[in-house]
Structure 1
Amino acid sequence: MIRHRILLALAMTLPLAGCGSILKLPGGEPAAHYMLRPAPAREVEAPLPVVIMIAEPDASAALDSNRVALKPSDLELQYYAGARWVDRATRMLQNHLIAALSGTVKDVGTEAMTLAADYRVQTNLAAFEAVYDGNKIPTVRVVLEAKLFSRTPLALRERRTFRAEVAAASDKQAAIINAFDRATAEVTNEFVDWVLAGVKERR
């Protein structure tokens, strides 16, 4: 009797597991976990003698997730069924930005190095989604709002919003993820240039 109740409870919960997934993956490919390509290493004569802390980006609850987001319209946000990032989008992006800056400065890392940091960067991930707007093939939109703070004196030094839109080559899963990767790479490249320029100006 107990076993019967357990099986019945499991059967009742199984349909709920898919309720959060709105759309099937385009192309009918199996579900998978995805990551961003590492930014290429930058050639520098010598790392800048500063320590930078990159905070995990703020984001809405809808984007602070490992689910791959899409927007069928301006007023609606959904997720690809079964598609996942390897980590929450905010933490994945934080690690991506840190890796992109590695080698260009004395040290760069997460909130764990706050006390040692000469500069800190706070960001807000305002958009990280595939936008359809009635089209069959989406355009990936990435928007990152950033602020650069100095420690001595403690002050807001720079602020900037980085935007990138990359049209997917097709409605296939791999093409859409590749568009996410390209849009993020564009934002990351501009972000690194901005951080390094801001730090150099105040040395």
Structure 2
Amino acid sequence: MILDRRALILSSLATAGLAGCADIVGPPEPPKLYRLSPRFAAVPGPSVPWALSVLRPETAGSFETERLVLTRPPSGLDFYANTAWSDRTPNLIQTALVEAFEASGRIAQVARDSDGIRADYLLNTDLRDFEARYDQGEGAPLAVIRLAVRLMETRGRRIVGTAVFAKEVRASANTVDAVVAAHTEAFSGLAADLVPWVLKAPMPK
């Protein structure tokens, strides 16, 4: 019984010591947050007479995250440590697409599907790539973005057009700040191709 009491006392002291160490170390630092803030330009041409609802992109599980994705062929997918986007990647893309159409100056009614506007067209996208690709060892990676797009009439869900838009931009350095800047530039270029393509659609019958 004496030995049991001594073991209990030693166990309690060890537990208290570990708890004290945890207090000294403290919780892990929160990740540094980054925003996707592309620059969009006006698109020449007349205003379109229809309304557009932008759906939240579909995507594979690897991009359904706030974390910044990187790939190192052939080893596969990984994430940058202690960094994150300000929202889940599909939400960032949806918001940026709405802003790109607003900046075009050619459409009066465009919103997320969750906003509930009476839209004539639905923009459905599939996010297939949104990553920093280390194709040169530890050199500056490529920011790679690829979106498959389907434009559908709201009534009847008839598909009126499909396309795949992609951009790659080499980061200026192997740093997270440079990678975020490259993603921003890549998405700006992708939107400059995607928005005029959508705006060519006629008024649905």
TM-score (norm 2): 0.79
Structure 1 unaligned regions, length at least 5: 19-29
| 1:23-75 residue CA offsets vs partner (Å, 9 max, x unmatched) | xxxxxxx9521112243341556532211010000111111111100001145
SS at match of 2:108: strand
- Residues paired across the two proteins, number: 187
- More off after superposition, 112-121 vs 97-106: 112-121
Give, in whole Å, the separation in 1 of the partners of 2:204 and 2:180: 38
Q: 2:172 aligns with which of 164, 169, 194?
A: 169
Show the counterpart of 1:47.
47
| 1:129-148 residue CA offsets vs partner (Å, 9 max, x unmatched) | 00003522211110000000
The reply to whether residue 183 of structure 1 matches residue 156 of structure 2 is no
Residue 83 of structure 1 deviates from its aligned partner by: 1.2
| 1:1-26 residue CA offsets vs partner (Å, 9 max, x unmatched) | 8xx67x74x94xx99969xxxxxxxx
The reply to whether residue 87 of structure 1 matches residue 87 of structure 2 is yes
Give, in whole Å, the separation in 2 of the partners of 1:114 and 1:157: 22
Q: CA RMSD in A?
A: 3.0
Give, in whole Å, the separation in 1 of the partners of 2:56 and 2:160: 19
Residue 188 of structure 1 deviates from its aligned partner by: 1.2
Structure 2 unaligned regions, length at least 5: 1-11
Residue 82 of structure 1 deviates from its aligned partner by: 1.1
Judging by fraction of residues, say which structure has more strand: 1
Give, in whole Å, the separation in 1 of the partners of 2:142 and 2:117: 40
Show the counterpart of 1:111.
113
Q: Percent identity?
A: 25
CA pair 75-126 structure 1, distance change in 2 beyond 3 A: farther
Conservation of the 8 A alpha-carbon contact between 2:35 and 2:86: yes
| 1:153-181 residue CA offsets vs partner (Å, 9 max, x unmatched) | 53101000011111111112221111111
Residue 123 of structure 1 aligns with an amino acid whose one-letter code is T
Give, in whole Å, the separation in 1 of the partners of 2:26 and 2:166: 38
Larger radius of gyration: 2
Conservation of the 8 A alpha-carbon contact between 2:70 and 2:80: yes
SS at match of 1:48: coil
TM-score (norm 1): 0.80
CA pair 101-143 structure 1, distance change in 2 beyond 3 A: same
Give, in whole Å, the separation in 2 of the partners of 1:192 and 1:45: 12
Show the counterpart of 2:152.
149
Show the counterpart of 2:5.
none
Give, in whole Å, the separation in 2 of the partners of 1:126 and 1:74: 18
Taking the TM superposition and a 5 Å limit, the aligned residue runs for 1:1-203 are 8=19, 11=22, 32-42=32-42, 47-102=47-102, 103-113=105-115, 116-136=118-138, 137-152=140-155, 154-197=157-200, 199-200=201-202
Give, in whole Å, the separation in 2 of the partners of 1:139 and 1:48: 35
SS at match of 2:65: coil
Residue 111 of structure 1 aligns with an amino acid whose one-letter code is D
Give, in whole Å, the separation in 2 of the partners of 1:38 and 1:173: 16
Give, in whole Å, the separation in 2 of the partners of 1:161 and 1:201: 23
